[in-house]
Amino acid sequence: MVCIKSFANDGYKLWLQYNHIQDKQIRTSYQSNIKRIIPFGNSETIKVALKELELGLNGMLGSKVLSGTKNNIESNSLMFGSESSLNEIVKNQLGNAFNEINDEGFVIKTISIKGKNQIIITGKNDVGVLYGVFKFLRLLQTHQSIENLNIIDAPKIKVRVLNHWDNLDRTVERGYAGFSIWDWHRLPDYIDSRYRDYARANASIGINGTVLNNVNANALILTPQYLEKVEALANVFRPYGIKVYLTTRFSAPIEIGGLETADPYDAEVIAWWKNKVKEIYSKIPDFGGFLVKANSEGQPGPQNYGRNHVDGANMLADALTPFGGVVMWRAFVYSEHDITDRAKQAYSEFVPYDGQFKDNVIIQVKNGAIDFQPREPFHPMFGTMPKTPLMMEFQITQEYLGQSTHTVFLPKLYEEVLQSDTYKKGKGSTVAKIIDGSLDNKVLTGIAGVSNIGNDINWTGNPMLQANWYGFGRLAWNPYLSSEEIADEWLRSTFSNDEKFVKPVKDMLLSSREAVVNYMTPLGLHHIMDTGHHYGPGPWVSDLSRPEWNPVYYHKADSLGVGFDRTPSGSNATAQYAPQVASKFNNLETCPEEDLLWFHHVSWDFKLKNGKTLWDGMALKYQEGVDQVASMISIWEEAKPYVDEERFSDVYMLLNIQHKEAKWWRDACLLYFQEFSQKSLPVGVEKSTQTLDYFKSLKFTFAPGN
C-alpha cells in the first residue's frame, strides 16, 4: 500500500510527529500490548513522561489509551517509574539491570504479572524513565516490534549540551533560522510554549543541557534582571532533565560589577565571582556552569592581566565547586601576533597546561584545528593532554556548509571525526573513546553542538536540517552510533516508514556531506569561503588585516601548485599528531586524498590515485559535487508521494538553490584556480557562463548570521 500523505505539515513537530500508523497489523499488535498506561510516581518529570506517552500513543494508535494506577495492573499495561517507585514483584523481574546503567540510563523490559505480559520502563531516576519513554515511542514510530522487550541503555557522555550563539537582542551569530527562540524582553513573565517543545525535543534525543547565550558574551546576562529570566527558562527545562549553562564574559566584574580589573588573581575579582555564582545558585539550584571564550578573537581573558588560561579557568572553577558546577573553557584560540600556522596554535597554547586545571574544568575543543570546515582532519589536541578532560565542540549550524539552504547530513561528518584514530594509546584510540572518557578514565566528559535553531516555524530553516540537531543528540548519547542508523530512524520518525521512501532518501542524506565537500572544498581545500559571512566562494580574498582571515592563506595556490604544506618541510603541524598519524599524513603515498591539500602543497600535475592530474581531478570533483546535488533533486522528486505538500516543496526549493549554488562554487573556484594552473578543463566538466570578475563582484551585505 502506498503511504497516504499526512496532513499539512509545517515541520514544527520535528521528529515527534506521532503520525497515525496506517498499517493495521502493526497498529493492532501495539494496541494489544498497551491496554493501559500506568505511571509510578508523580514528579514533574513523570508527569511530562505521561503526557508524552498519551500524545504519542493517541496519535499513533488513533484511539485513546486508558491510564491506570499502580493498583489496577491488569492485562498488558505499560508501566513506568523510577527504581524507588517499583514494587517487589516488578523489581524481582528486572534482575540486576540497574547495575548496568548510570544515573540517566533506562531499562525497558517485558515482564509477567498475573500471568500477563506487561512492559516496564524504568531507570535509577525519573529522567532515565523519561529517556526510556522517548525510546519506547521511537520503537513505535519506526514500526519495530514491542514483544519480549529487553532494552538496557545509558548515555556514554555526561554533559550533552547545545551551545546557542544567541545574543540578547535576539540576533543569532551564525544563525540561519530566524531570530533567537529566547524572548528575553518578555521573560520571565511570558513563557512561550515553544520553550517546552524545545525541551521535549532535546529530551527525546538525550540532550541534557543548554548554553543559552553567545560565546561572544554580553556581561548583562549575569545581572539580576537577566538572571530572573534565565531562572524562568531553567524552571521550564528542569522536568525534562535539561540544565542551563551560561557563557560568561571574562570582564564582567568590570562591566557590571564596578571593579577596576578582572584579573583572576585579584581578591575582589575572586570574591565577585564567588558571590555571583552564589546568587545564580540561589535562583537555579541545578545550574550547570559556565562556558568561556577567553582571549580569542578579541574576547577578554586572563591574558589581559598577564595570567593564563589555567588561572582564568581555575578561578571560575573554584567559585562553582561548592555547587557542583563545571567550567567549559574553550580552546578555540589563535592570534594575529603568532606567525605560526593557525592550525597549530590551540595545541601549542593548551598542551603545556595538561594536568593543571581543576577537576571541574573541561576543555572544549572544536572537531578540527581550523574552524568547522566541510572536512577537517581531527583536532590534534584530542591525541594528547591525557590528564585533562577534553570535550567535543561540533557545529550544527552550517556556517561554512551552505548555511540553512544546503541539505547536508552532518552525522556523517561527526561520525568520521569520532571514529578517527588518534593513536593516543596505540591503535584503536578513537576520538569517541577520548570524548566518552573510556580511554583515559575520565569522570567529567562532554560534547557540545553549536545549535542551528531559530524562531522559524520549522526551527532549523530547512526541514532536512532538523536531522542534524537530532543526529547530534543521538551521537552525544552514544558516540558509536552509525550515521546510517541515525538517518534511518530520523526519516521514519519525521516522514514515513515506507521503504520506497526511506531507502533512497537515506542514501541521499548519507551522500550529501561528500557532495558539499566536492562542490566547495575537494581534496583537502579549506576556508575558501567568502569572508565575514562565509556565504559562497571567495578563494581570491586577500585584503583582510589579519592574514589568517584570508582564504589565500589556506590554499596557497601559485603557478606551481596548490595546498598548505603542513609536513616537516612546511609548518610541521603534523608533528602535533601521534607519530603513526603524523607519518600517514606526511607521506604523499599514505595521506588520504581527501586531506591532500590540507597537508601538502602539490603541483598541478601531481598524479592522483586514479591516474588523473591534480588539476583534472580537482575539476572533476567540483563537477561531481554539482551532479550529486542534481541527483538529490531527482531522489526528492521521487519522494513526493510520501511527503506532505509543505515540507516537500520547502525542501524542493532549497535543493534547487543548493544546485544553483553548487554550480556557483564550481565555476568560481575553477576559474580562480585556473589562473594559476593555466590548464583547460577536462572533459566532463561544464564551463562557466560567467567570468571570474563577475563572481568576484558579488556582494552580500545583509547575509544572515554575521
Q: Tell the smallest beta-carbon distance from residue 529 to ligand BDP (Å).
A: 10
121 Cβ contact partners less than 8 Å away, ≥ 6 residues apart: 78, 79, 80, 106, 107, 108, 129, 132, 133, 136
- Confirm or reject binding of residue 421 to ligand BDP (CB under 6 A): no
Q: Tell the smallest beta-carbon distance from residue 627 to ligand BDP (Å).
A: 29
- Confirm or reject binding of residue 627 to ligand BDP (CB under 6 A): no
Q: Tell the smallest beta-carbon distance from residue 163 to ligand BDP (Å).
A: 9
- Confirm or reject binding of residue 174 to ligand BDP (CB under 6 A): yes
User: Footprint of ligand BDP on residues 202-231 (CB under 6 A)?
Assistant: 215-216
389 Cβ contact partners less than 8 Å away, ≥ 6 residues apart: 361, 362, 363, 437, 442, 443, 444, 445, 446
- Confirm or reject binding of residue 424 to ligand BDP (CB under 6 A): no
Quick check: 270 and 264 in contact, CB under 8 A? yes
User: Footprint of ligand BDP on residues 641-700 (CB under 6 A)?
Assistant: none
Tell me whether residue 216 or residue 674 sits nearer to ligand BDP (CB atom). Answer: 216
- Confirm or reject binding of residue 173 to ligand BDP (CB under 6 A): yes
Tell me whether residue 297 or residue 354 sits nearer to ligand BDP (CB atom). Answer: 297
Q: Tell the smallest beta-carbon distance from residue 216 to ligand BDP (Å).
A: 5
Residue that has been written with the C-alpha cell 537555579 in this structure? 284
Q: How far apart are CA 690 and CA 676, in angstroms?
A: 18
Encoded one letter per residue, x for contact with ligand BDP by CB under 6 A and - for no contact, window 65-104 reads ----------------------------------------
Tell me whether residue 214 or residue 586 sits nearer to ligand BDP (CB atom). Answer: 214
Q: What is the DSSP letter of 640?
A: G
Q: Tell the smallest beta-carbon distance from residue 19 to ligand BDP (Å).
A: 37
Which residue minimizes CB distance to ligand BDP? 371
Q: How far apart are CA 535 and CA 428, in angstroms?
A: 37
Q: Tell the smallest beta-carbon distance from residue 329 to ligand BDP (Å).
A: 13
Residue that has been written with the C-alpha cell 500500500 in this structure? 1
User: Footprint of ligand BDP on residues 362-401 (CB under 6 A)?
Assistant: 371-372, 399
Q: Tell the smallest beta-carbon distance from residue 198 to ligand BDP (Å).
A: 22
Tell me whether residue 173 or residue 318 sits nearer to ligand BDP (CB atom). Answer: 173
Q: How far is CA 401 from the centre of its chain?
A: 14
Q: How far is CA 681 from the centre of its chain?
A: 38
H or E element, residue 519: helix 499-520
User: Footprint of ligand BDP on residues 293-332 (CB under 6 A)?
Assistant: 293, 297, 332
Quick check: 215 and 330 in contact, CB under 8 A? yes
Tell me whether residue 46 or residue 215 sits nearer to ligand BDP (CB atom). Answer: 215
DSSP result, 368-427: BSSSS-SS-PBPGGGGS-TTS-EEEEEE-S-TTTTTTTS---THHHHHHHHT-B--BTBT
Q: How far apart are CA 396 and CA 466, in angstroms?
A: 10
Tell me whether residue 292 or residue 639 sits nearer to ligand BDP (CB atom). Answer: 292
Q: Tell the smallest beta-carbon distance from residue 430 to ligand BDP (Å).
A: 24
Tell me whether residue 371 or residue 565 sits nearer to ligand BDP (CB atom). Answer: 371
Q: How many residues bind ligand BDP (CB under 6 A)?
A: 10
Strand order in the sheet with 150-153: 66-67, 36-39, 77-80, 116-122, 106-113, 150-153
Q: What is the DSSP letter of 455?
A: S
Active-site residues: which are they? 297, 371, 399
DSSP3 helix / strand / coil % (the chain, rounded to 5): 45, 10, 45
Bridge-based pairing state of the strands 602-603 and 561-562:
antiparallel
Q: What's the half-sphere exposure (Cβ side, CA atoms, 13 Å) at 326?
A: 26
- Catalog residues that contact ligand BDP under the rule CB under 6 A: 173-174, 215-216, 293, 297, 332, 371-372, 399
